[in-house]
Amino acid sequence: MTMRKVAVVGAGMTRFVRRALETPKELAWQASRMALESCELTLEDVEAVCLGTAPDSFDGIHMNGEYLSDGAGAWRKPYMRSYVGGGTGVFVPIQGWYHVASGLFDIVLVVAEEKMSSYYPHAQAAFITIFDHTTERPLKPNLLWIFALEMNRYMTMYGISKADIARVSVQHKRNAAHHPCALLGDANITVEDVLNSEVLAWPVQRYDVSPVSDGAVAVVLAAEHVAKRLTDKPVWIEGVGWNLDTAHWTNRDLVYPRYVEYAARMAYEMAGIREPKKEIHIAEPYDPFDYKALHHLEGLQLAERGQAPQLYIDGTAALDGNMPVCPSGGLLGVGNPIAAAGLMKIAELFWQLRGEAGGRQVPGQPRRGIAQAWGDLMQVGTVVIMGR
């Protein structure tokens, strides 16, 4: 049985900012228009629209997907919003993939939008309602605390230092200095800056964390016969994978993201990849916190367990290394408008694999890249492998 091939043929993104003046609809519209213009299509050509956006509570809009529909270009078109929490940004292209691979559609617009600043004064408070209403909410947890638990577990089990983890933040923010849409690019940041930043919930400090942001990203997917007509540089979706673990996160060993491993293995199998360390040339693991990039590199089988910091120490992960990690600048550098941040990684692979990434272009004409996102209660992994 042959699978229908699906390509990314266009991409667009807004700047990621702390407080956008645009409404959520306008952000979605801007990214959609840029993506369509990048491949010289109009809304007339779009057969269906897939939307990703994280919790409705940010905007305080019930059925937020319905509200965003016309902004995302879905007027009188088949339209659906998929949702896997923080993993949504890399899931929504998977949703677009099955729309096209099913044979139902040839051209699909994939849009991810997030406006976190509507939640005033800070979006963190919206997260109280993600916890179990009976067993957890009374404890008033927040995300920084639970990720501090995970970071601590990771550091303790493998004897990893704060300084080694800080290298991730430094490299990503330096990469982001070359990204025109970035919120926190900084070409001169040092490990000391990270280690001296404000402690939020030990061991998490301010520069270990990506910023709350507003922004939108869109990509255009096309079936093989259409993609070849639209561009001579299609970037193929070679593998997709996703995996959702139990809601009982407190029963999980937080040292290793098994769900990311399962999602990655699903994608590798589909892409026919046996040795990911050799066959993946660019990695865009999800990095809302610096330790998460390390955690995810291990889950993606791109580093042995507890060994991911070595990739940053020996230069493998650098922009000119053997396997550049987050050349975009990642969430730490570009910003973290949740769903949009995940789709930003797909857009980055698209630009990198076409050689259009400007000042942050990875040398050596990379052929294949992987993007991954993560979310829910340290629970879901979403993976897309793209290649020329």
Partner 1 sequence: MNERVAIIGVGWSGYRPVSPELSYKEMTYAAAVKAYADAGVDPRKDIQSFVTVAEDFHEGTSIFDEYTPDQLGAALKPMHTITGDGLHGLATAFMMVKTGQFDIVALEGHSKASNILTLPEVNAYAQDPVLNRPLRLNTHFVAGMEMNRFLFETGTTIEQCAAVVQKNRRNALRNPKAAFGADLTLEEILSGPALSWPLGKRDMAEQADGAVVMVLASESVARQLSDKPVWILGIGWCNDSPSLESRDWGVLPYIQKAAQMAYRQAGFRNPQGIVDFAEIDDTYSYKELQSLEALGFCQPGEAGVLTDDGATDIEGDLPVNASGGSLGMGHLLDATGLVRALEVVLQLRGEAGLYQLEDVNIGLAQSWRGVPTTSGAVAVLAN
Is position 270 an interface residue for partner 1 (rule: CB under 8 A)? yes
CB of 328 to partner 1, least distance (A): 24
Nearer to partner 1, 69 or 117 (CB): 69
Positions in 57-86 near partner 1 (CB under 8 A): 57, 59-70, 74-86
Q: Which stretch binds partner 1 (CB under 8 A): 34-42, 194-202, 228-236, 376-384?
A: 376-384
Query: Is 68 or 384 the residue whose CB approaches partner 1 more closely?
Result: 68
User: Quick check: 149 binds partner 1 (CB under 8 A)?
Assistant: no
Look at residues 202, 38, 212 and name the one whose alpha carbon lies nearest to residue 123: 212
Contact pick of 157, 191, 266, 322 for partner 1 (by CB under 8 A): 266
Min dist CB 299 to partner 1, Å, is: 13
3-class state of residue 12 by DSSP: strand
| Shorter beta-carbon distance to partner 1: residue 65 or 330 | 65
Contact present, 173 and 329 (Cβ < 8 Å): yes
Coil, strand or helix: which one is 126?
Answer: helix
Chain position carrying tokens 């050596």: 364
Task: Identify the helix (H) or strand (E) that includes residue 27.
Answer: helix 24-38
Least distance between partner 1 and beta carbon 157 (Å)? 21
For partner 1, the closer CB: 105 or 351: 105
Residues near partner 1 (CB under 8 A), total: 68
Q: Is 99 a binder of partner 1 (CB under 8 A)?
A: yes
Give whichever of 84 and 332 is closer to partner 1, judged by the CB atom.
Answer: 84
The reply on whether position 283 binds partner 1 by CB under 8 A is no
How far, in Å, CA of 127 to CA of 143, rounded? 7
Q: What is the DSSP string of 163-201?
A: HHHHHHHHHHHHHHTT-TT-SS--TT--HHHHHTSPEEE
Binding of partner 1 by 130 (CB under 8 A)? yes
Among 5, 43, 45, 98, contact with partner 1 (rule: CB under 8 A):
98
Tell me if 18 contacts partner 1 by CB under 8 A.
no
CB of 58 to partner 1, least distance (A): 9
Distance from C-alpha of 122 to C-alpha of 283, rounded to nearest angstrom: 31
- Which whole-number Å values give the CA distances from 166 to 209, 291, 313, in the listed order? 10, 8, 11
Per-residue binding letters, 197-216, with partner 1 (x by CB under 8 A): --------------------
- Residue 251 beta carbon to partner 1: minimum distance, rounded to whole angstroms: 11
CB of residue 366 to partner 1, shortest distance in Å = 26
Residue with Cβ nearer partner 1 (42 or 129): 129
Q: Is 158 helix (H, G, I), strand (E, B) or coil?
A: helix
- Does 250 bind partner 1 (CB under 8 A)? Our answer is no
Which residues lie below 8 Å from residue 300, measured CB to CB, with a gap of 6+? 260, 261, 264, 276, 280, 283, 285, 370, 372, 383
Residue 242 binding partner 1, by CB under 8 A: yes
Is 59 within 8 Å of 115 (Cβ atoms)? yes
Identify which of residues 60 and 364 has a Cβ nearer to partner 1 in the complex: 60
Cis peptide, bond prior to residue 121, ω within 30 of zero = yes
* Number of other residues whose CB lies within 10 A of the CB of residue 251: 8
**Distant-in-sequence, close-in-space partners of 92: CB < 8 Å, separation ≥ 6:** 50, 51, 52, 82, 110, 111, 112, 339, 342, 343
The site for partner 1 (CB under 8 A) is made up of: 1-4, 23, 54-57, 59-70, 74-86, 91, 95, 97-99, 101-104, 126-127, 129-130, 132-133, 241-248, 258-259, 262-263, 266, 270, 375-377, 379-380
